Amino acid sequence: MSSPVMTRDQAAAAVKAAVAERDAIQANLLELDSSFGKQLLAGAELTGGTKRRWDATAATLGTLWQVFEAYSAVVDQAAEAAARHLGPRELAAISGLLAGRSVQLASGPAPLAGRDLADPGREDLTMATAVARMRGAFSAVTEVVSAAEHVWTEVAGRLDAVGAELARATPLAATLGDETLTGNLTAAQGKLARLRDTLNSDPLALWRPGGTVDTSGADGLAEQVTAAASRVDELVRLREEAHQRVAEVTAAAAAARSAREDAVAAWQRAGFTEVGTRLMSLGGGLVMWGQRGA
């Protein structure tokens, strides 16, 4: 059935609306394609449930772009027709493009067992059907992309903070000689590596129904590392205080020894002076005695 032919005003308004809708769809698709979540999933070596979901989602995203390209081509054709003199031929063409089954998709032939003899290997959609299909696909893709991005946002910061604390505390712990404490920090390093691997390769394993993120592993690790780091800081503080006390005692002993040496030296100097004075006095008396005798 052919579509009713629009008037000039109807055609102009319909083309304007179609172009605006196409531009909005394109902007949203480009934003989705460049989003952090999509880039994360597309560039990672995924495993587990995340890989299965992304493989299906990537196929949906590919189909979405395929539909958009066919749909956008129809919008361009309608806009080109509207830019010319809107005679009966242009109005009929625009009406057919915007209301008829003008969006042609190369769907490929159906399986032979269920294929119709006249199957052309393509699917013809109306503009409205194409938009509805793209809307459904967009919703399915953004659900997965947003979930992965949300997981990363919630967990990555926690793990970075834990990693920074471990990097600070581990070298200090190595100087203390506490094997239990060092073992706890080493175990925490291993757990951190496993959580990072999950975040990078299977982030949707941490996604929970209802739109929440399972941060229990990261939070528990943070508590463990905080406790170990506090113990490290306490032992380092006690060691520094002990070193300070030893330094103070050593300094006090050195000062006492120096004072004693100074006192002995002063005493010795005083003793030598007194003896010398007496000797001088004795020598003078002998001289006087000699003169009298003469």
CA distance 6 to 226: 72
Name the amino acid, one letter, at 80: E
Q: CA–CA separation, 176 vs 178, rounded Å?
A: 5
The predicted model gives 99-123 an average pLDDT of 75
What does the pLDDT look like over 240-272, one tens digit per residue?
Answer: 777 788 877 877 887 888 878 877 777 877 766
Instruction: Give the dihedral sign, CA 40/42/46/52.
Output: positive
CB 11 within 8 A of CB 82: yes
DSSP sequence for 204-250 = GGGEETTTEE--HHHHHHHHHHHHHHHHHHHHHHHHHHHHHHHHHHH
- The amino acid at residue 191 is K
Nearest Cα to Cα of residue 42 among 27, 25, 62: 62
φ, ψ (nearest 5 deg) of residue 208: -115, 145
Q: Where exactly are the structural domains of the chain?
A: 8-108+118-149, 152-255
Whether the Cβ atoms of residue 46 and residue 85 lie closer than 8 Å to each other = no
Most confident of 98-112, 229-243, 245-259: 229-243
Give the pLDDT band (50/70/90) at residue 276.
Answer: low
- Give the integer Cα–Cα distance in Å for 91 and 11: 7
Q: What's the pLDDT score for residue 152? A: 95
More confident residue, 113 or 161: 161
> What ranges in 100-178 are assigned the alpha helix state H?
127-174
Most confident of 66-75, 236-245, 251-260, 273-282: 66-75
| pTM exceeds 0.85 for this model | no
Q: Distance between CA 236 and CA 176 in Å, rounded?
A: 8
pLDDT at 67 (0 to 100): 96
Q: Please give the average per-residue pLDDT across 215-226, as a whole number.
A: 96
Tell me what the mean pLDDT of segment 81-99 comes to.
92
- Taking CA atoms, 185 is separated from 20, 144, 193, in Å, by 58, 35, 12
Q: Residue 264: what pLDDT?
A: 77
